[in-house]
Amino acid sequence: MKKLFSSLIMSMAFVVVSPVMAAGDVSAGKGKAMVCAACHGADGNSPLDMFPKLAGQHESYIAKQLADFKSGARVNAVMAPMVANLTEQDMADLGAFYASNKVTPGAVSEDLLAAGQTIYRAGNKDSGLPACMACHGPTGAGMPAAKWPALSGQYSKYVELQLKAFAEGTRSNDPNNMMTDIAKKMTADEMKAVSAYVAGLH
């Protein structure tokens, strides 16, 4: 828990000293997003749960993920060629466009609701797992300044896959390994439950 607290402090300090990213243009982003529509939907609400919903996600978070895909900090065979020629301005424009749209809320699996809500709002004291809402907020809105993503309405399958990736080390572009440390504390059942819960959170 002390390590997590230190990571939180370091992440917030990083927000203060980070350079200001390029301002995104929604109209420009709409045009640039046409090539992304096949997987992520015309407005960022992906029709397939294997691809994340981008609608309503923070501009800064989307821009960071695109930059990480380009640099190799986040590895994905599909996204790498898609971002290869994107400029910083392109990334900001795409982020602005998706942030301007509303995410469509998903359905919550009733059998996982109680367990997912407990993990999201209270964590697990026995394993040292912190509450998800500490960083992602009570409604799953996230924290744009810290580039902590919105989770509300996201596909449960996608969230669960990302938690597994953090735990297994196949995704490691989280600030100060925060999500890596958290995901390693989670059981498979906890990942499934909290992923189902955030799908209907709003």
Tokens representing residue 93 in the block: 């424009």
Phi, psi at 148, each rounded to 5°: -95, 120
Residue 70 included in any domain: yes
CA atoms 75, 81, 86, 92: torsion sign: negative
Number of domains the chain is built from: 2
pLDDT for res 21? 67
User: What CATH code is carried by the domain that includes residue 92?
Assistant: 1.10.760.10
pLDDT (mean) for 19-29: 85
Q: Band the pLDDT of 16: cuts 50, 70, 90.
A: very low
Distance (Å, rounded) from C-alpha 69 to C-alpha 199? 24
Does some domain include residue 142? Answer: yes
Least trusted range by pLDDT, from 97-111, 117-131, 159-173: 97-111
pLDDT of amino acid 5:
44
51 and 119 in a single domain? The answer is: no
Alpha-carbon dihedral 68, 70, 72, 75, rounded to 10 degrees: 80
Q: Do 185 and 122 fall within a single domain?
A: yes
Return the higher-pLDDT residue of 15 and 63: 63
If asked whether residues 78 and 112 sit together in one domain, one would say no
Same-domain check for residues 186 and 113? yes
Q: Which tokens is 37 given?
A: 């529509």
Identify the band that residue 108 occupies on the pLDDT scale cut at 50, 70 and 90. Answer: confident
* Phi, psi (rounded to 5 degrees) for 97: -65, -50
